[in-house]
Amino acid sequence: MLGGFLPKGQASFGLQTQDTSLFNHMKGTHSIGSRDEDGYVSTSSSESVAAVFVLGKPSAYVYKIHVTPNLIDTVGTLGKYSEFDEESEWAALGGIKYEQIVSWRPLNGRKLGTTTKNKDYDKAKYGLAVNGGVQYQLAGFPPNHEAWDEEPWKDHKPSKRHIGKRPGSVLIS
């Protein structure tokens, strides 16, 4: 299998970080880059937004990726606490596999080039997949954040038995 996209600081697929907080992920993107301990890869449902993110890089491409359940609606999950609504972000928990990339287009200056289809796209595996939608349990606000006292997040507030774990932590075995 060829590459794909992994969260920074992660060497292979499968969740390898305890920090699955979308709030932390959002806070780490102020400089258009995520923190190394972050468990997400940023994507956008807007081709023009995606192009802005790679604008000016020496080798820039915009990828069309088929959704999967690990693609979480960041804006919907964080609601009024989302700072980047205009980015239409879907955060890919644990990364994006190469075989789920449908196609890509080079960005030449400010113009998108011709589409190249990924011959390794696995339509049988991903063709009917759906996104993960809104996942309030992954919001991961800090312990004393006001959101924990509001709907819809208050039902997902970490309990006392989770003290000492990072906000938004999940265990996957």
| Residue 121: CATH number of its domain | 3.90.210.10
pLDDT tens-digit profile of 81-131?
999 888 899 999 999 999 999 999 998 888 889 999 999 999 999 999 999
Q: What is the pTM of this model?
A: 0.82
Position 173 in a domain: no
Residue 52: enclosing H or E segment and its boundaries? helix 47-54
Position 70 in a domain: yes
* 114 CB-near residues (< 8 Å, 6+ apart): 105, 106
Residue 65 clears pLDDT 90, i.e. is over it: yes
Residue with tokens 């190469």: 98
Q: Which domain holds residue 40?
A: 4-162
Most confident stretch, 131-135, 155-159, 160-164: 131-135
Position 83 in a domain: yes
Position 34 in a domain: yes
pLDDT band at 16 (very low <50, low <70, confident <90, very high): low
Position 30 in a domain: yes
The radius of gyration computed from the CA coordinates of the chain, to the nearest angstrom, equals 17
Residue 140 clears pLDDT 70, i.e. is over it: yes
What's the N-to-C CA distance of the chain in angstroms?
Answer: 23
Position 172 in a domain: no
- Separation between Cα atoms, residue 32 and residue 84, nearest integer Å: 11
Position 169 in a domain: no
Catalytic center residues: 89
The count of structural domains within the chain is: 1
Position 171 in a domain: no
Question: Residue 46 has which token pair?
Answer: 């807007």
pLDDT tens-digit profile of 18-62?
678 999 988 885 445 545 567 889 998 988 888 888 877 778 899
